[in-house]
Amino acid sequence: MSNLGLLAPYSCAECHGPLWRIDGDGPIRFRCHGGHAYTAESLVSAQVDGTEALRWDVLRTLEERSALVREISERAKGMGHASEATSWARRARVLEEEAAELRNQLAQRKVARPQRAPLKRSRA
């Protein structure tokens, strides 16, 4: 790929492979081995999109973890393990607060939540 130009200190926003700076006049342009091509502006835009998708992934993970921890707490409570239940409930609260803070940040930035593909359910 040396005919493309110099290796750039950036990675492809789609495949995360290395990017080469394409020689030539005009706008700054990049390309990866996989054929993804960017201008400097479109690379910035793609990086922003990637960052927002990661934030939504973090939020989903926090929501799932807090629900799971809350379930563990409820189970411990139901089994009469009050101290354990309280400890798990405290963890769930911290996770819920963390998720709420991130959800508010995303709402303020007016970033649409990406649609999730329906989960494939396998028969056990």
| Contact present, 116 and 87 (Cβ < 8 Å) | no
For tokens 């629900």, name the residue.
Answer: 67
What's the rounded Cα separation, in Å, for the pair 43 and 37?
A: 8
Any contact of residue 50 with Zn ion (CB under 5 A)?
no
Any contact of residue 46 with Zn ion (CB under 5 A)?
no
Farthest CA pair distance, the chain: 73
For tokens 């649609």, name the residue.
Answer: 115
What's the rounded Cα separation, in Å, for the pair 60 and 10?
A: 28
Question: Which range of residues in 21-29, 35-43, 95-103, 109-117 is near Zn ion by CB under 5 A?
Answer: 35-43
Any contact of residue 36 with Zn ion (CB under 5 A)?
yes
Any contact of residue 34 with Zn ion (CB under 5 A)?
yes
Any contact of residue 85 with Zn ion (CB under 5 A)?
no
Binding mask 14-33 for Zn ion (x = CB under 5 A): xx----------------x-
Comparing every residue's Cβ against Zn ion, the nearest one is 12
For tokens 């189970």, name the residue.
Answer: 75
By CB under 5 A, name the binding residues for Zn ion. 12, 14-15, 32, 34, 36
